[in-house]
Amino acid sequence: MAVPDLDALLARGVRGQRVLVRADLNVPLADGAVADDTRVRASIPTLRRLLDAGARVVVASHLGRPKGQRAPALSLRPVAPRLAHLLGTGVSFCEECVGPAAAAAVEDLGPGQVLLLENLRFHPGETANDPDFARALAALCDVYVNDAFGTAHRAHASTAGVVPFVARAAAGDLLRTELAHLESVRHPERPLLVILGGAKVSDKLTVLEALAPHADVLAVGGAMAYTFLRARGEPVGDSLVEEERLEDARRVERAADEAGRRLLLPTDHVVARRPEAGAPSKVVARIPDGWCGVDIGPETARRYAEEAQRARTVFWNGPMGIFEIKDFARGTETVAEGVARSEGTTVVGGGDSLAAINGLGVGDRITHLSTGGGASLEFVQGLTLPGVAALEQARA
């Protein structure tokens, strides 16, 4: 079903209207300031268009997981100056996101002005998708725009629950662009290469199960790979292994096999005495006792990067090793270089994968950098995103 977009909304006009934009401004903070403004920048085009159209723009987001309590360290206040700088206009801030204080702040807003509301998750009603909280949000606006792709996989009050209570609603440009690019992974030009990393099979089990028979090649890295290797009966030393997932790993391998797809595992490894910076480390083909795997080896990294040259579509999510430790980041970096060199359509999501791409300065050689790690994984495995599904019922 079609989701109303910003074009349709603006065609009907928003001048003087109170437009609530649900953005994903869940950004890392350091020393009371925004440490990485990727998500703030990604929210600008939609806000810009609404402001140019004379809307009174109210921005709402979550930050972190404060569990329904006010947590000063997770205030969105530091995001306001960053937003103001990027928009080139003043942004006021309200310490509440619903109720009389928020209503008064919205009332003060003129056409072409922006208000940022406090962290939605300071209220338990947000993640509980409480209809009363959703109604309270709806009361602040005439029009609702969801541009929070990174949170579209959550059925929360501000992403899904609010929609039935507003007269007009639409997807923002970021949400629309993300979905369009991720569609090219769901319906790929083949061969499709999926590179999946991360620590745990359990975190990625549903995506592994969905993509093993869908991707022409599924290349596995990160600690997840050791569970797969152990399931094959290979030695893994002291590497992180989820014993209770061995059967799942075998099932994923069988699913790939039966569909005639290839599932690639590391054939060499960087191992260390301990998974810590400065610990003695070396490259091996078989992981010895007393050592643990901390990164894919150079040969494996080269193979995965070569697969990216052959693929027409590449989807990558998750680091190949303990990326935050410099000595164990080489595998992830080599894969990042390989994906950047690919001539195919390339889509990358997830914090560490993006950090590797940005650290190498090759972001402009990737077709699409997704602002949603979890959301993009759910979308490419064919799941319905609640934030998108809610908009299918809406009118612009």
Applying CB under 6 A, among 6, 21, 24, 158 the residue interacting with ligand 3PG is 24
CB of 236 to ligand 3PG, least distance (A): 29
* Cα–Cα distance, 316 to 354 (Å, whole number): 10
Is 278 noted as a catalytic residue in this protein? no
**Member of 206, 374, 381, 383 binding Mg ion (CB under 5 A):** 374
Pick 24 or 216: Cβ nearer ligand 3PG: 24
| Cα–Cα distance, 128 to 118 (Å, whole number) | 18
Q: How far is the CB of 26 from Mg ion (least distance, A)?
A: 8
Q: Please give the Cα distance from 98 to 214 (Å, whole number).
A: 44
List the catalytic residue out of 64, 68, 112, 374.
Answer: 374
Single out the segment in contact with Mg ion by CB under 5 A; choices: 2-10, 140-148, 373-381, 383-391: 373-381
Tell me how far, at minimum, the Cβ of 277 lies from Mg ion, in Å. Answer: 25
Q: Within positions 314 to 373, which residues make up the interface with ligand 3PG, using CB under 6 A?
A: 373
Question: SS3 string of the chain?
Answer: CCCCEHHHHHHHCCCCCEEEEECCCCCCEECCEECCCHHHHHHHHHHHHHHHCCCEEEEECCCCCCCCCCCHHHCCCCHHHHHHHHHCCCEEEECCCCHHHHHHHHHCCCCCCEEEECCHHHCHHHHCCCHHHHHHHHCCCCEEEECCHHHCCCCCHHHHHCHHHCCEEEECHHHHHHHHHHHHHHCCCCCEEEEECCCCHHHHHHHHHHHCCCCCEEEECCCHHHHHHHHCCCCECCCCCCHHHHHHHHHHHHHHHHCCCEEECCCCEEEECCCCCCCCEEEECCECCCCEEEEECHHHHHHHHHHHHHCCEEEEECCCCCCCCHHHCHHHHHHHHHHHHCCCEEEEECHHHHHHHHHCCCHHHCCEECCCHHHHHHHHCCCCCHHHHHHCCCCC
Q: Is 64 in the site for Mg ion (CB under 5 A)?
A: no
Nearer to Mg ion, 207 or 256 (CB): 207
Give the one entry of Mg ion, ligand 3PG, none that residue 26 binds, where binding means its C-beta sits below a cut-off of 5 to 8 angstroms depending on kind. Answer: ligand 3PG
Residue whose Cβ sits closest to Mg ion:
374
Q: Single out the catalytic residue among 18, 22, 39, 204.
A: 39
Sole binder of ligand 3PG in the list 154, 204, 261, 368 (CB under 6 A): 154
- Is 373 in contact with 396 (CB distance < 8 Å)? no
Closer of 151 and 281 to ligand 3PG (Cβ): 151
Q: Is 151 in the site for ligand 3PG (CB under 6 A)?
A: yes
Residue nearest to ligand 3PG according to CB distances in the complex? 26
Indicate the residue among 219 and 369 with the shorter CB distance to ligand 3PG: 369
Q: How far is the CB of 150 from ligand 3PG (least distance, A)?
A: 4
- Mention every residue, 6+ apart, whose C-beta is less than 8 A from residue 305: 334, 335, 337, 338, 339, 341
Alpha-carbon Rg for the chain, nearest whole angstrom, is: 22
**Pick from 150, 188, 349, 387: which binds ligand 3PG (CB under 6 A)?**
150
374 is catalytic: yes
Cβ–Cβ under 8 Å, residues 192 and 311: yes
Active site residue 48: no
Least distance (Å) between residue 248 CB and Mg ion: 22
* Active-site entry in 351, 359, 363, 365: 351
* Annotated catalytic residue, options 48, 200, 262, 273: 200
Residue 11 or 30 having the CB closest to ligand 3PG: 30
Q: Is 382 a catalytic residue?
A: no
24 binds, among Mg ion, ligand 3PG, none (CB under 5 to 8 A by kind): ligand 3PG
351 contributes a contact to Mg ion by CB under 5 A:
no
Residues of the shown chain interacting with ligand 3PG in the complex, contacts defined by CB under 6 A: 24, 26, 65, 150-151, 154, 373-374
- Active-site residue list: 39, 200, 351, 374
Residues of the shown chain interacting with Mg ion in the complex, contacts defined by CB under 5 A: 374
